[in-house]
Amino acid sequence: MQDIRGRTRTQEDPHVKLTTRGRFAVTSMIDLALHAESKPVRLVDIARRQKMSLAYLEQIFCQLRRAALVRSVRGPGGGYLLGRPAGEITAGEIVRAVEGDVDVSQCRGEATCRGGAECLAHGLWSELNHKMAEFLDSQTLQSIKDRNLSRAAALSGSGEAHVPVERVGGAHRRKLLEQGEAAA
């Protein structure tokens, strides 16, 4: 498979860009953290709430399970649970589990952009890679979950989250605003 620069990507290549797979993995893990406090969550429910393909989500969760970020529960009432507490799982771990290291450079950090030489912007791209990894590694599922709950509570005006937090925009936001006006 070739990327947009014409380079051939292999499955062994750990340096990739942040793709839909990485974004979906993080989003689905946030959903799991929000909904799996008392019982396992079914992928079909995450797929419905987040408007994702179930087949794609199954592939992602296979990788997340291999990385021990989630664990599966079989049988009736089964589904997925977080592999560790939400405060111990970072967005960086999730992205690396499904994509490898995020890299925006053309040379994958090897300073060989210009026929074996370092390009003029190599330092910029290397620093951006470092900052992205640092940022993603600083964001735990718990902190992301807490921000979502706070945002939903603020939108509801009651101090408590009474809304589906998977999408606090569009129709859900209108519904919240109407509920707030009706309660006032």
Domain that holds residue 65: 18-102+140-153
Residue 23: inside a domain: yes
Compute CA 168 distance to the chain's CA centroid, rounded to the nearest angstrom.
Answer: 17
Which helix (H) or strand (E) element contains residue 168? none
Residue 132: inside a domain: no
CATH code for the domain of 83: 1.10.10.10
Residue 29: inside a domain: yes
Per-residue pLDDT of the chain (184 residues; tens, 9 = 90+): 444 444 444 444 444 467 899 999 999 999 999 998 889 999 999 999 999 999 999 999 999 999 999 999 999 889 999 999 999 999 999 999 998 877 777 667 676 676 777 788 888 888 888 898 899 999 999 999 999 888 888 887 755 544 354 444 444 444 444 544 444 3
How buried is residue 51: exposed, middle or buried, by Cβ count under 10 Å (0-12/13-18/19+)?
exposed
Q: How many domains does the chain have?
A: 1
pTM for the full predicted model: 0.71
Residue 33: inside a domain: yes
Residue 181: inside a domain: no
